[in-house]
């Protein structure tokens, strides 16, 4: 795997393990102290090392980036000597204290990893040289450097490490996990990268975080995003994730979800808490979810959703298009329009694609599939799966004792069920 | 009203069953081949006299296990993760390297237990060891954690064998119960060794890592912790109860007749033969079960701990290619153990002894890390140790270090 660092010559590369303990020299090349840590101030510049923390004879001193004439394996050579004592502040991300050995999110690899070392690029900027964070290193090569840091000379470590393949994450893809919201602001931790991830990948990342970090993270995400991610998360975690949020926020999230998924999660939760959340929901969604919660998990009723499109058998293609326009969220998931008689019994099923092929005033009855397979609401999980398999259906209508259409089961739910069983 | 009360009780029992697993399993696996050998030796050589040590041992075990469980529940992180975050990579690497070596010898000791228990039925170790290694490997690699856990919980029930064996031997119960509460000293250096061995075999380093990781894996948080703590305590007590019965069985069968040192645990089983076919059979089955059980958990625990601490991909839900080092460690530890055990003329007993020494040497370091971590407010919040608890814990650590230093010195002299 080629990393960014490999494109740059080794003379322009420095590792955090090499930076630690690097001697700092004044104008007369006398050693003032050794580097203890280095800090980035993300609000000012995302990758440039803004200050070096040097351990002097007594207190620590701060060297600002513009005071460095030259930096390399032999040490840091200063341009001017007006050094101030070190004061901590919330806007600094200190690499040794806050990044090394801590967990970060790899937005590209979509997982949570622990930082073993950091790679810098040495840049010439006029009178001085600056360090820019290039990538975060994990894996064996970084472990090797950490283990022998201070024991073997740096140049020897560099030569020996060549044999081990590198494993790094570019700084652009690194996302700090910071539970404190104020500190997040000060460290300019943004969530832009989240938007490019698939909910299933984001769910993987959430699963790998610790509980505290996860809850803090969830607080920052908007309800719509959480509603997409939650069904993808390990079932064991789903309930506990919602339980630790405020009821009103949890209600918002539940409202954004498909009612059958919402019902599944609420059923797993503590009764009192799920009640609280339901009460915070708006009337209609609340009723839908409560309705579905009545059914046993492993039956057709427990698997179905109440969001489907059903039209009277006399309806035309135009009616179908208008009905869909009235409920646009349905367009994301449906692939079949059902036709029902006056008693709401299914009499036809029209694959959505057929609507494209005929003029708008065509009666839907002409487009229906020859037979409509249904399943009773009390049927077992196994019966449902068998039906899907036997009749090659994508959407299975669920009917009550009188044969009236109550809901539908979609193929994706069945795949989850089969995977579990 | 009654319905509500019933619902609450069921919630309590259901709640308990939901957290059942980590503490109980860890304590049960503690009674592995090395443990059984030590308890058998104690009973065979000194009779009922060593029984008094079981109560302090249980307390020590509870103290150390509880701290790990608490850390797991409050921080949501495993022990090697915490060591990495607070003490850095080098410390983590050194501890884990030592742990890997120690666990490897423990696993070897357990396959040795499998071999010697089945040799009692005249099945050659060249058949039993490879077969059981394959069985262990398949169970670990192909099963899911909850399925594996269920199998183990079932296997724990087999430990009843020892209790039954003990009864069949018809030991002197009055003497046994007397000695359980009366500390006695015997001026024999072997007695000291046995006592130290009993402590060392009960509080193994790998158990601390395993327990904390299981608590995290089960998703137990600070809120559920109280139930978990109860489970841990029950597990520790259960372990001591089994130890009690093993010691009593050997005391009654061997020491009452003719006190002697046994060459290995299977010898103890043989000595039970005069007391009826069942006493002997149950003991042998108990040894086989314990060895196999431990031989399955230990490779898994080792792999998790090392990967977690050093940042390699881990987890049974990942494929071989996704988590090569994880599966590699599992496979390698099993494979190396089997190869070493099957070397002709391999001294099984020495192996078991050696694995206990390694446990003893590593343990104080792990405990010191644990004590520093469990007292950090930053990670434990309000769940740090109380001053009294700290006093007890540090006293335990110092006693353990002193004892294990003595044991190490004595064992090295013996080797």
Could you tell me the pLDDT band of residue A375, with boundaries at 50, 70 and 90? very high
Contact A113 B84 (CB under 8 A): no
- Whether residue B6 is predicted with pLDDT greater than 50 in this model: the reply is no
Residue A117 has phi, psi (to 5 degrees) of -155, 170
Distance from CA of A18 to the nearest CA of B (A): 15
Q: How far apart are the first and last CA of chain B?
A: 68
Contact A146 B89 (CB under 8 A): yes
Span B143-166, mean pLDDT?
69
Q: What is the mean pLDDT of chain A?
A: 87
Contact B89 A240 (CB under 8 A): no
Span A146-161, mean pLDDT?
92
When scoring B311, B315, B317, B325 by the number of chain A Cβ atoms within 10 A, the one with the most, hence best to mutate, is: B311
- Whether residue A169 is predicted with pLDDT greater than 50 in this model: the reply is yes
Percent of all residues in chain B with a pLDDT value above 70, rounded to a whole number:
88
Span B338-367, mean pLDDT?
79
User: Could you tell me the sign of the dihedral formed by the alpha carbons of A410, A414, A416, A417, in that order?
Assistant: positive
Buried/exposed code over A408-418 (b: 16+ C-beta within 10 A; e: otherwise): bbbeebbeebe
Q: What is the pLDDT of residue A330?
A: 83
Contact A139 B311 (CB under 8 A): yes
Q: What is the pLDDT of residue B331?
A: 93
Nearest CA among A271, A240, A202 for reference residue B218: A240
**What digits encode the pLDDT tens for the residues A305-360?**
888 889 998 888 998 889 888 888 888 788 899 999 999 999 999 988 888 888 88
Q: What is the pLDDT of residue B76?
A: 86
Contact B89 A116 (CB under 8 A): yes
CB distance from B347 to chain A under 8 Å? no
Which residue is listed with tokens 């600056």? A130
Which distant-in-sequence residues (6+ apart) come within 8 Å of B9 by Cβ? Answer: none
Contact A101 B219 (CB under 8 A): no
Q: For A83-87, B154-158, B334-338, which range has the lowest pLDDT when averaged over its residues?
A: B154-158
Q: What is the pLDDT of residue A148?
A: 93
Contact A100 B88 (CB under 8 A): yes
Distance from CA of A257 to the nearest CA of B (A): 25
Say which of A101, A113, A210 has its CB closest to residue B84: A101
Span A201-217, mean pLDDT?
84
CB distance from B381 to chain A under 8 Å? no
Say which of A147, A210, A212 has its CB closest to residue B90: A147
CA angle (B19, B23, B25) in 5-degree steps: 100
- Beta-carbon pairs below 8 A across chains A and B: 33
HSE toward the beta carbon, residue B6, CA cutoff 13 A: 3
When scoring A112, A118, A143 by the number of chain B Cβ atoms within 10 A, the one with the most, hence best to mutate, is: A143
In order of A313, A323, A335, A339, B71, the CA distances from A331 in angstroms are: 20, 11, 8, 17, 48
Q: Where are the alpha helices (DSSP H) in A306-410?
A: 317-326, 381-391
**What digits encode the pLDDT tens for the residues B56-115?**
888 888 888 899 999 999 998 889 999 999 998 999 999 999 999 999 988 998 998 888
Distance from CA of B45 to the nearest CA of A (A): 47
Q: What is the pLDDT of residue B20?
A: 62
Buried/exposed code over A99-110 (b: 16+ C-beta within 10 A; e: otherwise): bbbebbbbbeeb
Distance of alpha carbon B224 from alpha carbon B70, whole angstroms:
10
Say which of A138, A212, A236 has its CB closest to residue B219: A236
- Whether residue B45 is predicted with pLDDT greater than 70 in this model: the reply is yes
Give the other-Cβ count within 10 Å of A11's Cβ: 9
- Of all residues in chain A, the one with the smallest CA distance to B216 is A210
Could you tell me the pLDDT band of residue B5, with boundaries at 50, 70 and 90? very low
Q: What is the pLDDT of residue B306?
A: 93
* 8-state DSSP, A73: T
How many residues are present in chain B?
Answer: 415
**What digits encode the pLDDT tens for the residues A232-277?**
888 778 887 888 888 888 898 888 888 888 888 888 887 888 888 8
When scoring A95, A148, A152, A212 by the number of chain B Cβ atoms within 10 A, the one with the most, hence best to mutate, is: A212
Which pTM was predicted? Answer: 0.79
Rg (CA), chain A: 30
Q: What is the pLDDT of residue A129?
A: 94
Tokens of B414: 């013996």
Distance of alpha carbon B236 from alpha carbon B30, whole angstroms:
9
Distance of alpha carbon B33 from alpha carbon B83, whole angstroms:
29
Q: Which chain B residues touch A240 with a CB distance below 8 Å?
A: 219, 221
Give the other-Cβ count within 10 Å of B187's Cβ: 6
Please report which helix (H) or strand (E) contains residue A93, including its range: strand A93-94
Q: For A101-115, A168-182, A189-203, which range has the lowest pLDDT when averaged over its residues?
A: A189-203
Span A201-214, mean pLDDT?
84
Could you tell me the pLDDT band of residue A16, with boundaries at 50, 70 and 90? very high
- Of all residues in chain A, the one with the smallest CA distance to B83 is A101
Q: What is the pLDDT of residue B146?
A: 61
Span A144-148, mean pLDDT?
93
Q: Where are the alpha helices (DSSP H) in B120-182?
A: 125-142, 145-157, 160-169, 173-181
- Whether residue A51 is predicted with pLDDT greater than 50 in this model: the reply is yes
Q: What is the pLDDT of residue B360?
A: 72
**What digits encode the pLDDT tens for the residues B372-414?**
999 998 888 888 888 877 887 788 778 777 877 776 677 677 6
Q: Which residues of A touch B (CB under 8 A)?
A: 100-102, 113-114, 116, 138-139, 143, 146-147, 210-212, 236-237, 240
Contact B311 A138 (CB under 8 A): yes
Span A99-126, mean pLDDT?
89
Contact A101 B85 (CB under 8 A): yes
Q: What is the pLDDT of residue B17?
A: 52
Q: Which of A61-70, A332-341, B355-364 has maximum average pLDDT?
A: A61-70
Could you tell me the pLDDT band of residue B3, with boundaries at 50, 70 and 90? very low
Span B35-51, mean pLDDT?
86
- Whether residue A112 is predicted with pLDDT greater than 80 in this model: the reply is yes
Span A91-100, mean pLDDT?
92
Q: What is the mean pLDDT of chain B?
A: 81
């Amino acid at each position: 795997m080629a990393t960014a660092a490999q494109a740059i010559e080794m003379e322009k590369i420095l590792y955090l393990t090499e930076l630690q303990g690097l001697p700092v020299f004044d104008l007369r090349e006398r050693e003032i102290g050794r580097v203890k840590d280095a800090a980035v101030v993300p609000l000012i510049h995302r990758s440039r090392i803004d200050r070096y923390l040097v351990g002097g004879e007594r207190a620590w001193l701060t060297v600002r980036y513009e005071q460095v004439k030259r930096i390399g394996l032999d040490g840091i050579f200063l341009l001017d000597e007006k050094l101030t004592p070190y004061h901590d502040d919330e806007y600094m991300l200190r690499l040794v204290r806050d990044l090394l050995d801590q967990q970060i999110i790899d937005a590209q690899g979509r997982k949570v990893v622990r930082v073993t070392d950091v790679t810098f690029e040495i840049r010439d900027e006029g009178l001085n040289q600056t360090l820019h964070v290039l990538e975060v290193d994990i894996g064996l090569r970084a472990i090797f450097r950490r283990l022998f840091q201070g024991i073997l000379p740096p140049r020897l470590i560099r030569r020996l490490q060549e044999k081990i393949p590198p494993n790094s994450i570019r700084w652009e893809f690194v996302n700090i996990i910071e539970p404190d919201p104020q500190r997040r602001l000060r460290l300019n931790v943004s969530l832009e990268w989240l938007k490019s991830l698939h909910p299933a990948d984001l769910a993987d990342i959430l699963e790998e975080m610790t509980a505290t970090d996860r809850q803090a993270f969830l607080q920052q995400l908007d309800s719509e995003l959480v509603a997409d991610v939650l069904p993808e998360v390990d079932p064991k975690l789903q309930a506990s994730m919602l339980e630790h949020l405020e009821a009103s926020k949890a209600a918002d999230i539940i409202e954004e979800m498909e009612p059958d998924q919402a019902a599944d999660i609420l059923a797993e939760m503590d009764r009192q808490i799920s009640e609280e959340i339901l009460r915070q929901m708006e009337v209609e969604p609340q009723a839908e979810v409560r309705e579905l919660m009545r059914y046993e998990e492993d039956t057709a009723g427990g698997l179905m959703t109440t969001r489907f499109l059903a039209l009277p058998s006399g309806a035309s293609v135009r009616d179908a298009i208008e009905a869909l326009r009235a409920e646009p969220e349905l367009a994301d998931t449906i692939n079949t329009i059902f036709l029902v008689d006056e008693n709401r019994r299914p009499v036809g099923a029209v694959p959505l694609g057929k609507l494209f092929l005929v003029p708008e005033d065509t009666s839907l009855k002409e487009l229906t599939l020859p037979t409509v397979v249904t399943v009773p609401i009390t049927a077992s999980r196994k019966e449902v799966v068998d039906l899907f398999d036997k009749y090659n259906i994508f959407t299975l209508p669920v009917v009550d004792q009188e044969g009236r259409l109550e809901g539908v089961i979609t193929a994706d739910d069945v795949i989850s069920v089969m995977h579990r069983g | 009203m009654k319905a509500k009360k019933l619902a609450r009780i069921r919630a309590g029992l259901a709640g308990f069953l939901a957290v059942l697993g980590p503490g109980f399993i860890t304590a049960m696996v503690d009674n592995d081949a090395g443990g059984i050998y030590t308890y058998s030796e104690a009973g065979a050589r000194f009779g009922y006299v060593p029984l008094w040590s079981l109560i302090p041992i249980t307390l020590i075990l509870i103290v150390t296990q509880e701290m790990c469980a608490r850390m797991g529940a409050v921080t949501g992180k495993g022990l090697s993760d915490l060591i990495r975050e607070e003490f850095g990579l080098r410390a983590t690497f050194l501890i884990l390297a030592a742990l890997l070596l120690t666990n490897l010898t423990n696993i070897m000791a357990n396959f040795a237990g499998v071999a010697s228990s089945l040799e009692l039925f005249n099945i050659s170790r060249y058949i039993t060891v490879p077969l059981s290694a394959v069985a262990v490997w398949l169970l670990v690699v192909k099963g899911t954690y909850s399925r594996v856990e269920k199998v183990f919980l079932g296997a724990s029930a087999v430990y009843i064998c020892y209790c039954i064996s003990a009864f069949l031997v018809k030991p002197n119960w009055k003497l046994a119960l007397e000695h359980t509460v009366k500390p006695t000293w015997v001026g024999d250096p072997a007695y000291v060794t046995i006592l130290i061995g009993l402590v060392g075999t009960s509080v193994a380093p790998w158990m601390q890592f395993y327990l904390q990781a299981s608590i995290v894996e089960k998703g137990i948080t600070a809120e559920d912790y109280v139930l978990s703590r109860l489970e841990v305590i029950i597990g520790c007590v259960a372990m001591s109860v089994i130890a009690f019965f093993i010691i009593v069985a050997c005391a009654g069968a061997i020491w009452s007749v003719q006190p002697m040192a046994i060459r290995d645990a299977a010898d103890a089983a043989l000595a039970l033969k005069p007391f009826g076919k069942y006493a002997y059979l149950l003991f042998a089955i108990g040894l086989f079960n314990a060895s196999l059980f431990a031989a399955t958990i230990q490779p898994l625990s080792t792999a998790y701990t090392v990967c977690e601490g050093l940042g390699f991909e881990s987890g049974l839900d990942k494929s071989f290619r996704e988590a090569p080092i994880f599966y590699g460690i599992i496979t390698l530890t099993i494979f190396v153990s089997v190869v070493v055990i099957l070397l002709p003329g391999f001294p099984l007993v020495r192996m078991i002894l050696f694995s206990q020494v390694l446990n003893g040497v590593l343990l104080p370091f792990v405990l010191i890390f644990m004590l520093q971590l469990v007292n950090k407010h930053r990670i434990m919040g309000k769940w740090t140790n109380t001053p009294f608890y700290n006093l007890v814990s540090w006293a335990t650590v110092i006693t353990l270090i002193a004892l294990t230093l003595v044991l190490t010195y004595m064992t090295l002299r013996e080797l």
